[in-house]
Amino acid sequence: MYEKLGTGPATDLLIVSLSANDILGHQVGPDSPQMRSMALELDKSLAEFFDFLGHQIGLANVWMALSADHGVAPLPDFAKTLRLPAANLDAKALREQINSLLSKKYAKKADYVIDLDYPLAWLDKDAFTGTAAGKDESIAEADTGEAMKQAGLTGYFTKSQLARGDVPPTETGRRYANSYSPEGGYYVIGIPRPFQVGITHGTDHATPFSYDTHVPLAFYGLAFQPEPTAPTPNPSISP
Instruction: Look at residue 2 and tell me if it is in a domain.
Output: no
- Are residues 196 and 86 in contact, defined by beta-carbon separation less than 8 angstroms? yes
Q: In terms of domains, do 184 and 100 share one?
A: yes
CATH code for the domain of 95 = 3.30.1360.150
Q: What's the Rg (C-alpha) of the chain?
A: 24
- Distance of alpha carbon 34 from alpha carbon 97, whole angstroms: 36
Instruction: Look at residue 238 and tell me if it is in a domain.
Output: no
Q: In terms of domains, do 115 and 183 share one?
A: yes
- Distance of alpha carbon 54 from alpha carbon 220, whole angstroms: 13
- Distance of alpha carbon 168 from alpha carbon 164, whole angstroms: 12
Instruction: Look at residue 32 and tell me if it is in a domain.
Output: yes
Q: In terms of domains, do 112 and 162 share one?
A: yes
Q: List pLDDT tens digits, range 148-180.
A: 999 999 999 999 999 999 999 999 999 999 999
Q: In terms of domains, do 94 and 55 share one?
A: no
Q: In terms of domains, do 151 and 178 share one?
A: yes
| pLDDT tier, 237 (very low <50, low <70, confident <90, very high otherwise) | low
In this prediction the pTM is 0.84
Instruction: Look at residue 104 and tell me if it is in a domain.
Output: yes
How many structural domains is the chain composed of? 2
Range of the domain at 101: 87-194
Q: List pLDDT tens digits, range 200-224.
A: 999 999 999 999 999 999 999 998 9
- Distance of alpha carbon 37 from alpha carbon 42, whole angstroms: 9
Q: In terms of domains, do 118 and 182 share one?
A: yes
Cis peptide before 216 (omega within 30 of 0): no
